[in-house]
Amino acid sequence: MTLPELRERVSSAPTGGYITSDSRMDAGYIDNLIHSARAFIACERWKQYGQVPPAYYQKFEPDFSKLAQEAGSCFTVFYDIPQIIALDGRASGIGFIGNLNGIACQIREVSSLGEFASFQTDRIMKSGRKAYLINGQGEFTVWFKDKIKSFQMEIIAADPTLLPLYNVDYDDYPMDISDIPKMETYMLQGSFGLIYKTPIDRINDSRDVTVPPQVNP
């Protein structure tokens, strides 16, 4: 099920199937609610089962910029990284990371520079023998014996539409199809609940007729 199909499905109950330019729930607003509900369900899956179904993950390859690198450093920085959901206080929505510079090699995610530094005292785990990734705010720092110019990964993005390989109109929305009824229930109990109590504007005339006109005293 694509995002437009899912949007039509979840919006049809509270709006009676009508979405016009005057609607209080435009497509962008509904999409944001869908993304939030998806992230919530993914976290619930993690808490309950200790894993998230593969359908939630998307392939992503960060862009390398030579001008953004520090000369002589033993790490590589990648910028403009989409926000990745946090499954709990320790686990992020990052799945497999690997294939460095076209060579099969798994990268290990670490939570901070402190955790990374602790590995450097271990002969087996220290950087150079293994590759490490630190997930910052909108950027990745990758430590390895060589400069990393490309790698592939799978992530659960907060907004899956921001990933370059995702086609909104043709690709299935990245979540397990069995969780869609749960999404509808969550949305109707939360963000969509109040909409049931308001009339529906069925006339596409750039005027919201559900809002009473103001009367000057």
Length of the chain: 217
What is the pLDDT, as a whole number, of residue 114? 73
Residue 203, pLDDT above cutoff 50: no
The two counts, helices (H) then strands (E), for the chain are 4, 7
Q: CB–CB of 122/133 below 8 Å?
A: no
Q: Which helix (H) or strand (E) holds 135?
A: strand 131-135
pLDDT band at 123 (very low <50, low <70, confident <90, very high): low
Is 0.85 topped by the overall pTM? no
Residue type, 60: F
Q: Which of 16-25, 72-81, 107-116 has the highest mean pLDDT?
A: 72-81
Alpha helices in 50-179 (DSSP H): 113-119
pLDDT band at 97 (very low <50, low <70, confident <90, very high): confident
pLDDT: which is higher, 39 or 109: 39
What residues contact 70, with CB distance under 8 A and at least 6 apart?
Answer: 77
In 3D space, the residue among 172, 137, 140, 167 whose CA is nearest the CA of residue 153 turns out to be 140
Please tell me the distance from the alpha carbon of residue 5 to that of residue 173, in angstroms, as a whole number. Answer: 9
Q: What angle do CA 152, 58, 41 make, to 5 degrees?
A: 140
Residue 168, pLDDT above cutoff 90: yes
How are strands ordered across the β-sheet holding 140-143? 75-78, 140-143, 131-135, 107-110
pLDDT band at 156 (very low <50, low <70, confident <90, very high): very high
pLDDT band at 189 (very low <50, low <70, confident <90, very high): confident
What is the pLDDT, as a whole number, of residue 30? 87
pLDDT: which is higher, 9 or 217: 9
For 131-147, the pLDDT digits (tens) are 888 888 788 988 887 77
Report in angstroms the alpha-carbon separations of 7 from 10, 11, 38, 72, 132: 5, 6, 13, 49, 38
- What is the sign, positive or negative, of the torsion defined by CA atoms of 181, 183, 189, 195? negative
What is the pLDDT, as a whole number, of residue 188? 76
Residue type, 196: Y
For the chain, the straight-line distance linking the first and the last C-alpha, in angstroms and rounded, comes to: 51
CA atoms within 13 A on the CB side of 15: 21
Mean pLDDT, all residues of the chain: 78
Give CA 8 to chain center in angstroms.
21
Residue 19, pLDDT above cutoff 90: no
